[in-house]
Chains A and B, each alone.
Chain A
Amino acid sequence: MNAPGTTESAEAIARARAGDQEAWGDLYREFAPAIFRFCRRALPTREDAEDATMEVFMKVRDKLHQYDSTRPFTSWLYKVAANHCWDLLRRRKIRQDKETEDLDTLPLEHPDPSQLEQLIEKRTSEEVRKALDKLPSRARMALVLRYYSDMSYDEIADALGVRRAFVGVVLLRARHELRQALEGSGALAVGGAG
């Protein structure tokens, strides 16, 4: 998120906090597309993403007074969206709660870089998006938080409810799963060059 609250946004936020409807409308129009896309990436269906986007903004509006204006607005916005989406998945029990003990099984190996290069070389963005849709909720959410929202490891740990020390493992596991989905086999996910 390298476009945190511009001066215009900061003014709009201040006015929206003061109850200015027009300012709130401006804020919504500015950020709704990005939040919708975030929800689209994090949740299984478009319908879910639409509902979630609206609900996120309802929450944002209710909690706007809690926003610390010294920090980037978009970070806070994504945090609210991440919590909402993760909560939604949890409520539906489709979140796969492989907690930290499961992470122990990740081997510390050194995959063949040329194979990985080849895989990345061949794949288009669309293929990656389709592969992302096939991932389990936790893996998909972790990748979205990191590579779409640009969240820090601390923020990801907080959103996913894992220890900070394991965020890297969650991300690496997610990458492995993504490669499996892209490749159709697990060769690269666990392959090591020794």
Chain B
Amino acid sequence: MSSPPGTNLQNTGTPHLDEMTILLYLERQLDRARAAEVSAHTQECSSCRLLLRALERESRLLTRAMLEEEEPLPARLTSFQEAARRSLQWIWMLTFGLAATGVYALYTSYVEPVQNRLQDAGFGGTNLLGLLIFQGAFWKGWQSMISLVEVLALVTLGTFTAMVLRRRLRRGSMLAMLLAGMCGVMLMPSGTTATEFRKGQNTEVTSSEVIKSDVFLSGDRMSVDGTVEGDVYAFGRTLDVTGHVLGDVIVFARDVTVTGQVDGNVRSFANNLTLRGTIGRSLTIFCEQLKLDRSGKVNRNITSFADSFLLDGHVGHDIVAMNGRFDLRGQVDGDIRLRSEVFTIESSAQVGGPIHYKGTKPADVSPQAKLASAVDYEHVDKDREHGGGAHYYFWRLLWSAAFILYGLVLILLMPNFAGDCVRSAENAGASLGLGLLVGISAPIAAGIACITFVGFPLGILGFMLWLIMLFSAQIVFGGLIGRWILGPTEDKWGRVGRMALGMAIIGVVVPLIHYVQILDLIFRIAAMTWGFGAIALTLYKRVAVTPSIPIPPPIAA
């Protein structure tokens, strides 16, 4: 239909009017001339006349069906609850304040120390975000511009802007403007650095060359024999650095060999990396084999995720490593923090700081090795170390089954309340906000109540209720996930099925993200807070209920 309906009345290939035309006629949407044509046609054509009447009856049936129902007006709507609205505003303000305080506390207590530790370990970044996007290597400029706090501030500002503009976002022009703005902001840092691109089978920076900017290399065999005053980005099969790089080297390659000098950092995803030259700052490496030859030197730190790590050279500061095997023959001036299956310290080894080693068996230490202190060894069970042993999965399965069973009981005992909780959870902002508020304040209030002798039973009861809510929170969140996937339902067993599906998904997701401990923790806290808030919101709504009144007649007839 290339033209709007009603404009091609006679071109349907039948002697009758089409349904669209008759509907538009019925609803008085045709122009006068066309309406006259249709009117004349229906006088003569019995089929079209009948269809017109049928559509008219259908319209009446629809209107009647929608207006007819006598459903009582919900009790909480019997009067306009301005007071409730105001109190909710206070809740929001309080929640926002608490959340901001919580974020600050979390940042200063956990994030900042971790950040400092990572900085000491060789990442050298100014923020966690920078670390997460690989030391800002591909987003140069951002790294120094944005701190975690600024990111939070930007997200908050963005959320408020989106809330204010949410209606206007439906308009294409506004959306286009926002997208353009975002693109503009993203493009801003790229202008700060000029980059030279070199592609081909063999790409090289010859020994006589001096490149004043960053250089981007891609090819089968890549080599840097000359001088690069910026950074080197290399994607290919092999890379040899025999020259001098004043910036960083970021490389994705099968074999990497550094025999020259890199004044900055080396960040690498490679099969094999061999270092015979000097790295002025730190080395971060994800690889199969890492080899630091006797002549190799890293002035600051090494962070290594390698299957096999042989250190024969010199490291100026610390080593943080997670390896399959670590052989130490050279010199480390700082600390060593290591997780490995095999750790050998040979006679030529020298370590200036403490050695913390977690592994499945003790380190094999040569008595001739010069160590500042004995190896601090912590035995780790292999299954637990990998977080994926049969034992772990068995317990995950058992816990998931227990939660599903608990959810089943709750839903069967309180089907309406359970349904209301999941519906409340759809209001993500209010649920998370209230979850944060009540989750923190309720046990504190219960504790204060317990201090006063009179309030002791009340405090204990409150604390027990808080515990029950906490255990039920995950079930509500599971129910919400099931509802998102399968859609809403009013059926009791439908709710059970959705809850079970949601819990099963949580049961799969948690072990998957278990490897990244902070992510696991964040997910669990968010799910708990969300579900907890939904329960609190439902309780709040229930408390606010007053007796219902019959609904008056409708406005329209």
Contact = CB atoms under 8 A, between A and B. Distances in A.
B73 A33 contact: yes
A126 B65 CA distance: 7
Contacts of B27: 153, 168, 171
Contact of B14 (A36, A110, A161): A110
Given A37-B71, A103-B1, A108 B554 contact: no
Contact of B4 (A36, A144, A165): A165
A186 to B, nearest CB: 14
Contacts, number: 174
Nearest to A50: B74
Interface in A165-184: 165-166, 168-169, 171-172, 175, 178
A47 B16 contact: no
Given A28-B80, A129-B69, A110 B17 contact: yes
B18 interface: yes
B65 A129 contact: yes
A73 B441 CA distance: 45
A187 interface: no
Interface of B: 1-2, 4-6, 8, 12, 14, 16-21, 23-24, 27, 29, 47-48, 50-51, 53-55, 57-59, 61-69, 71, 73-74, 76-77, 79-81, 85, 166-167, 170, 420, 423-424, 426-427, 488, 490, 551-552, 554-557
A116 B59 CA distance: 12
Contacts of B67: 37, 148
Given A110-B14, A169-B5, A161 B77 contact: no
A87 interface: yes
A132 interface: yes
A103 B6 CA distance: 14
Contact of A2 (B16, B426, B557): B557
Interface in A138-194: 143-144, 147-150, 153, 161, 163, 165-166, 168-169, 171-172, 175, 178, 192-194
From DSSP, what is the main secondary structure of chain A's interface residues? helix
Given A33-B73, A194-B14, A148 B19 contact: no
Interface residues of A, number: 72
Given A113-B53, A168-B24, A168-B29, A108 B420 contact: no
Given A50-B77, A132-B65, 18 more contacts: A34-B554, A36-B551, A44-B488, A57-B80, A74-B555, A106-B20, A108-B19, A109-B14, A109-B19, A110-B17, A110-B18, A110-B47, A116-B58, A120-B54, A120-B57, A125-B69, A126-B65, A172-B20
Interface string A99-137: 000011010111101101100100101101100100000
A161 B170 contact: yes
Contacts of B167: 83, 87
Given A32-B73, A113-B53, A193-B16, A166 B4 contact: yes
28 contacts: A3-B557, A25-B79, A32-B80, A36-B73, A37-B67, A41-B66, A48-B423, A50-B76, A54-B76, A108-B1, A108-B12, A110-B47, A113-B47, A113-B54, A116-B54, A120-B54, A123-B61, A143-B66, A144-B66, A147-B66, A148-B556, A150-B556, A163-B4, A165-B4, A168-B23, A171-B27, A172-B5, A172-B19
A18 interface: no
Nearest to B51: A113
A170 B82 CA distance: 38
A33 B549 CA distance: 10
A129 B66 contact: yes
Contacts of B4: 163, 165-166
Contact of A117 (B50, B69, B490): B50
Given A40-B71, A169-B20, A113 B50 contact: yes
B29 A153 contact: yes
Q: 6 closest A-B pairs (Cβ-Cβ)?
A: A165-B4, A113-B50, A128-B65, A108-B18, A125-B65, A110-B16
A103 B3 CA distance: 11
A3 B17 contact: no
A57 B64 CA distance: 25
A169 to B, nearest CB: 5
Contacts of A150: 556
Nearest to A115: B54
A109 B18 contact: yes
A113 B12 CA distance: 17
A168 B77 contact: no
Interface of A: 1-3, 24-25, 28-34, 36-37, 40-41, 44-48, 50-51, 53-54, 57-58, 61, 74, 83, 87, 90-92, 103-104, 106, 108-111, 113-114, 116-117, 120, 123, 125-126, 128-129, 132, 143-144, 147-150, 153, 161, 163, 165-166, 168-169, 171-172, 175, 178, 192-194
Contacts of A175: 23, 58
A149 B50 CA distance: 27
B80 A117 contact: no
Most chain A CB within 10 A, of B4, B71, B424, is at B4
Contacts of B65: 125-126, 128-129, 132
A151 B293 CA distance: 81
A176 to B, nearest CB: 9
Contacts of B54: 113, 116-117, 120
A166 to B, nearest CB: 7
B79 A114 contact: no
Contacts of A161: 170
Nearest to A33: B551
Contacts of B59: 147
A54 B206 CA distance: 73
Most chain A CB within 10 A, of B19, B53, B424, B552, is at B19
Contacts of B2: 104
B536 to A, nearest CB: 16
Nearest to B22: A110
A178 B489 CA distance: 20
Given A3-B556, A50-B77, A37 B551 contact: yes
